[in-house]
Structure 1
Amino acid sequence: MISTGNESRHIGVHIDRSVDEVYAYASDPANLPAWARGLGGSIEKVGDQWIADSSPLGRVVVAFVPRNDLGVLDHDVTLPSGETVHNPVRVIADGTGCEVVFTLRRQPEMSDADIERDAGMVAADLARLKELLESA
């Protein structure tokens, strides 16, 4: 089935590290290759932009919202086509740990298989983030 959009999925993971530690690590684009493999295996700063060249999507530009005290890690990914995908992400305090929640939005013309594949990739990325931070 193909959708016209309007579906969101919230994919989260609890991490046994402080919200400040997780936010500091996850908000640094230089750390993306270690945990966000959906964006590729390398990223570099070119001028004032972060470029992921080895992304499965091709060369993409990743732009985070400015660092903040609210745990907001929203970022835009501009695809080679020029289309920009907005990705809402939150780091939320949970006792001495935190929860990282990624809102996956179904893009126009995505099939059920596409959204399932993307959800699996996001869940795997968040699991890597958890593993990295809890083993540090």
Structure 2
Amino acid sequence: MTPSRHVSVGIAALAERVYAYAVDPAHLPAWAAGLASSTVERVDGAWVAESPMGRVRIAFAPPNELGVLDHVVTLPGGEEVLNPMRVLPDGDGCEVVFTVRHRAGKSEEEFESDCRAVLTDLERLRHLLEEG
């Protein structure tokens, strides 16, 4: 079993609104710097982005009403990484939870860095949706 950590933030916005924003690949560069550092585009039926890891492909869970934002990132070397992510309703707001997996071959320091990067991305998402 792969060790993991759930990283989350509360957002003072309705879950439906947060999901609608976060599920749109065009918004990734505005809040998910760890995944998309430039425009996300469709190439041969797949979503592709330049990321800190290089050019990646991103496959998203089908649109749903449960707040599931899971996505598989195919890294430049071909490795596929499943990223579980959820928007959970909480009264007039919601919680966004991202599961960070400690991938094989990564040090504890790299895992901690990944967790900090995810938290930074989720805080950026919170800021955009609470202020915007």
Calculate the TM-score normalised by the size of structure 2. Answer: 0.96
Q: 1:82-93 alignment to 2 at 5 Å? A: 82-93=78-89
Question: What's the CA shift string for 1:10-33, capped at 9, x where partnerless?
Answer: 000000000000000000111000
- Identity among equivalent positions (%) equals 55
Question: What's the CA shift string for 1:61-119, capped at 9, x where partnerless?
Answer: 01110000111000000001110000000000001000000000110011110001000
**What amino acid maps onto 2:75 in structure 1?**
L
CA RMSD in angstroms comes to 0.9
Deviation at 1:47, TM superposition (A): 3.1
Deviation at 1:44, TM superposition (A): 1.3
Q: How far apart are the structure 1 equivalents of 2:44 and 2:80?
A: 19
| Matched pairs, number | 131
**What amino acid maps onto 1:68 in structure 2?**
N
Q: 1:102-113 alignment to 2 at 5 Å? A: 102-113=98-109
Aligned residue number for residue 52 of structure 1: 49
Check conservation: 2:37, 2:52, Cα contact below 8 A: no
1:130 pairs, out of 116, 126, 129, with 126
Deviation at 1:41, TM superposition (A): 1.7
Is 1:120 aligned to residue 93 of structure 2?
A: no
Structure 1: stretches of 5+ with no match in the other structure: none
